[in-house]
């Protein structure tokens, strides 16, 4: 039976690999100047890329440069797949590093501006009222952005509700089937 993985990604401001980031750290995507020309209908894993000219955009240029995104997309076009450490979302033509969701980029038809917002970044901010912990993770009081792993993850409303529930569990003993991965600050539900 295939294992399906869903994650609600979070981390505190003091941890380097953050997925729930202080709300001031969230910025609009940056359109890159590089053009990717696709000569034939191509595929990268589940993403089908019709022939044409495309422009890349990066979600956070301080975490992933346009040059690096360009190198990655060209490599993956040659390999027809991205490594499993990257989530490929065919609905939005986006690529997100699973362990560091701030390292994300997308592909849009040339001339399309502005790039679409990352659909996995939930709108608005989540306010943590007091310094809190959930098991090994610390959450200083402040405003945070919630980030979904991919389009199959729980909705933003469900993610906010789950995170609110988890903040009431300082021991970190989450209801089954949820588990904490303290290495990358994720709450993961396995099943299916």
Q: Is the pLDDT of residue 101 over 90?
A: no
- Tokens 């690529």, residue located: 95
- Stretch 66-77: mean pLDDT: 94
Specify the pLDDT at position 91: 72
Q: Is the pLDDT of residue 189 over 70?
A: yes
Say if CB 77 and CB 42 are below 8 A apart: yes
Q: Residues 65, 69, 70, CA angle at the centre, nearest 5°?
A: 115
Q: Residues 189, 28, 41, CA angle at the centre, nearest 5°?
A: 75
Say if CB 134 and CB 166 are below 8 A apart: yes
Tell me how far apart the terminal alpha carbons of the chain are, to the nearest angstrom. 8
Confidence of residue 14 (pLDDT cuts 50, 70, 90): very low
Question: Cα–Cα distance between 85 and 97 in angstroms, integer?
Answer: 6
Confidence of residue 149 (pLDDT cuts 50, 70, 90): confident
Say if CB 55 and CB 35 are below 8 A apart: yes
Whole-model pTM: value is 0.54
Range from 15-24, 27-36, 135-144 that averages highest in pLDDT: 135-144
**Cβ contacts of residue 14 below 8 Å, gap of 6+?**
138, 140
Confidence of residue 62 (pLDDT cuts 50, 70, 90): confident
Q: Which of 29-38, 105-114, 165-174 has the lowest mean pLDDT?
A: 105-114
């Amino acid at each position: 039976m295939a294992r399906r993985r869903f994650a609600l990604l979070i981390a505190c401001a003091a941890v380097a690999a953050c997925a729930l980031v202080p709300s001031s750290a969230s910025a609009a995507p940056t359109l890159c100047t590089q053009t990717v020309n696709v000569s034939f209908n191509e595929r990268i894993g589940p993403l089908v890329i019709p022939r044409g000219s495309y422009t890349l955009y990066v979600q956070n240029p301080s975490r992933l440069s346009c040059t690096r995104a360009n190198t990655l997309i060209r490599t993956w076009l040659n390999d027809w797949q991205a490594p499993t450490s990257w989530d490929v979302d065919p609905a939005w033509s986006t690529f997100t590093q699973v362990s560091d969701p701030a390292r994300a980029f997308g592909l849009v038809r040339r001339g399309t501006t502005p790039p679409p917002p990352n659909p996995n970044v939930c709108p608005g901010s989540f306010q943590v009222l007091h310094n809190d912990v959930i098991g090994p993770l610390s959450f200083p009081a402040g405003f945070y952005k919630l980030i979904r792993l991919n389009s199959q993850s729980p909705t933003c409303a469900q993610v906010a509700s789950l995170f609110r529930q988890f903040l009431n569990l300082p021991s970190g003993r989450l209801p089954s089937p949820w588990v904490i991965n303290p290495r990358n600050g994720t709450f993961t539900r396995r099943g299916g």
